[in-house]
Amino acid sequence: MDWLLDSYGTGPIRTMDTPSQIAIVIRRRPFNIRCQYQHVAEMDVQKQLLEMDMEEQAMRDVHEQLMHPIIIAMKGHPCTGKTTIARTLAGSLGYPLLAQDDLLDYAGDKSFEAICRIAATQLSLRIRVVIDSPLTSQAHRDRLVQLAESTRARLIIVECIPRDEYEWRQRLERRAMVDQSYKPSTWGDLQEMLGKYEDYDVGAVPKLILDTTKVFKHGGLVSATLRIAFYQNPHIVELDQWEDLAMSRLKAKQSKEERGRYKHLHTLGLSNEGKDTKGTCNICSELVSGQAYDCDECEFILHKFCAELSDKVQRLPDECPPFFRAIPPAYSFPEKHVCDACIDAKKGFSDECYDCLFLTNLKCKLLPTILHHECHEHPLRIAIIPLNSNFEFICRGCGHFGKGIAYGCHRCRLHFHVSCLLLPRTLKHRTHGDPLTLNYFPPNDGSSEYYCNACEGERKPSHWIYYCADHEFAAHMSCMTPEVRPYDMQNVKRLEILRM
């Protein structure tokens, strides 16, 4: 994972170089009838793929791409991470970065015009540029369009939208602590500023939308930016759905047998009982009948009972190996199994092989392949990733980072620590007299601030808590059990609660 800090070093924006599964959403802008945006509700997947294939023809003319410079223009409100993303793009692509903030003290209200004139010089030399500015004014957007037309440049807008309000607020507060002259300095000031702001239609300009409070692929950001810039039709695209379309297009060109020859994370779905299933279970090697989990990319199949380890799931908190509960220095399996691909290559077990790791857990029956949890509506699938990879994730349960082993929901694109999923559903604690239940979403009382009743510290509403409905008592998981590390190790009261 690449760690990116904003220009003041006040908060991380996280990027990943590991494969993720994403799909495209192309939305119609309502205010400009000249733009031919495709609305996802009006198109099925095949039509989207056909259109993108047609547009790929425009990208195959390398000479035409080299003839045109590019303007990558950032857009976003304060503390949305646009400066960090601008630096990421400029550094990865080797483009000069033109930041409006650098000229404010010298040019004042003319600072945007100043960077446009500097950009014009670079573009005339066919040097592609990244422009870092809020771009909150339509007049500024119009100026960039005029700049692109006069220099025959491709223009793309990269808009940063932090959809997690809690993270956005924390980022603003950290920024204000580092720079006391920064405005807006409080969340209330920012909300007042946003209340006066009216968004505008970008017109016939392609735009890439990025949620900077999510983990995303570094390489995916760069690739999507360049590809969208050169498409013939102006699209508005969500980054966190871009790569799924690319993956779908790749799969569409391969047969099921061809896909099965390559290592991949099995996308397991539960088949119907009436489905004519042929094959043997990859765990017990018996013929599969009735409901089963199978992979739509290869011939992998598991009995429902075997995949869920129904006879063992209640004992998991006591029997789960310790190296599954934390980030291990190495995988310490009691026995090791070699996948077919490594056997064909005349290799032994490799802890750098996805399939060897997956097969070993299957055969050893250490953890279920599919886990159902009361705090999440969809089944969760285990992923055991080589420790030398860049795979890291943010646990939706506790909010901390994880590496190597996770349970994930493909539909929601969420990951969970094994240790968080094995926490007791109910417990009693000295800070509260009644039993507490592990809960993912307590009733909303309309408040914009959320606190832990045990340590009185602030808590994030999207994270799991231990909760008593009768007394509306909500507590951090880390306050109730030592299995979860506290967010803030400097919070003495929380550490004292843990020692109770």
Domains annotated on the chain, with CATH? 2-249 (3.40.50.300), 309-387 (no CATH), 423-498 (no CATH)
Structure tokens, 61:
């003319």
Model confidence at 371: pLDDT above 80 = yes
Question: What 8-state DSSP symbol labels residue 276?
Answer: -
Beta bridge partners of 474: 467
Amino acid occupying residue 446? G
Model confidence at 117: pLDDT above 90 = yes
> Residue 197: its pLDDT value, please?
82
The proportion of the chain whose per-residue pLDDT surpasses 90, expressed as a percent, equals 19
- The mean pLDDT value for 431-450 works out to 77
The model's pTM: 0.61
Amino acid occupying residue 58? A
Which band of pLDDT confidence, cut at 50, 70 and 90, is reported for residue 16? Answer: very low
DSSP 77-142: -TTSSHHHHHHHHHHHHTPPEEEGGGGHHHHGGGHHHHHHHHHHHHHHTT--EEEE----SHHHHH
Which residues have CB under 8 Å from 376's CB, separation 6+?
409, 412, 414, 416, 440
Model confidence at 494: pLDDT above 60 = no
| Other CB atoms within 10 A of residue 85 CB | 28
| Torsions phi, psi for 465 (to 5 deg) | -140, 165
> Residue 59: its pLDDT value, please?
47
Tell me the three state secondary structure of residue 393.
strand
Question: Are 131 and 119 within 8 A, CB to CB?
Answer: yes
Provide the pairing of β-strand 207-210 with 236-238. parallel
What region, left, alpha or beta, does residue 191 occupy, with left being phi > 0 and alpha being psi -120 to 50 degrees?
alpha
> Residue 483: its pLDDT value, please?
67
